[in-house]
Amino acid sequence: EWEVPLTVDGADVVVHGSYRRLASPSPWPWAALALVVAAALAVGVVRFLPPLGVAGAAVLLVGIAAVAVGVAQRGVSPPGAPTTVLVVVLPVLAVVAGVIVVMQRGRVLRAVAGLAGSALLGGWALTRLDVLTHAVVPTSLSPGVDRAVTALAIGAAVAAAAVIVRSGALAPELPELPPDGEDQPSPPG
């Protein structure tokens, strides 16, 4: 407990306060959330939906949530605080990449944009890993929301990259080969 006597506009006042040590949250529920999201996207959802569409939608949707978290963090940061503008810029760029994946038709362009978006989203989450273990989170949102979006970003980034690589969208297209026995050159002989 502490108190500080002050004089404000000629009136004596006392400011009271207390120091409390808050317990750090366990990172395990958030790690589990990231794993469940990654597994659901990389293994489950792609069985029913096109892989590039799944990756793009994941980057887009989680990117939008990450923009909101970044704006909330920047909004409560006092001038001169070490909060970087990247907490907003990285997810905004991930959203742009997600839009490209969802809206474009070119297979390679969509794959490259999806990988870029997953890298941006993953980079954003990595810069914020401490929110998963610190008791006090610099945000105007609920700390649980902030932590959940960070965990979602980790899971979505890993899953989107894995889905895109596994999809083969980055592989060059091979020309169609004629069926056996048709128009094939004879072996030299």
Closest by CA position to 130, among listed 122, 118, 138: 138
The predicted pLDDT at position 172 comes to: 76
pTM of the predicted model, to two decimals?
Answer: 0.80
Closest by CA position to 68, among listed 134, 139, 3: 139
The predicted pLDDT at position 183 comes to: 57
The alpha carbon of residue 110 and the mean position of all alpha carbons in its chain are separated, in whole angstroms, by 18
The predicted pLDDT at position 186 comes to: 58
- pLDDT < 70: residue spans in the chain: 178, 180-189
The C-alpha atoms of residue 122 and residue 106 are separated, in whole angstroms, by: 24
The predicted pLDDT at position 188 comes to: 65
Q: Is residue 138 within 8 Å of residue 73, measured between CB atoms?
A: yes
* pLDDT tens, residue by residue, 57-69: 999 999 999 999 9
Q: Which tokens sit at 128?
A: 């914020």
Q: Which tokens sit at 15?
A: 């400011």
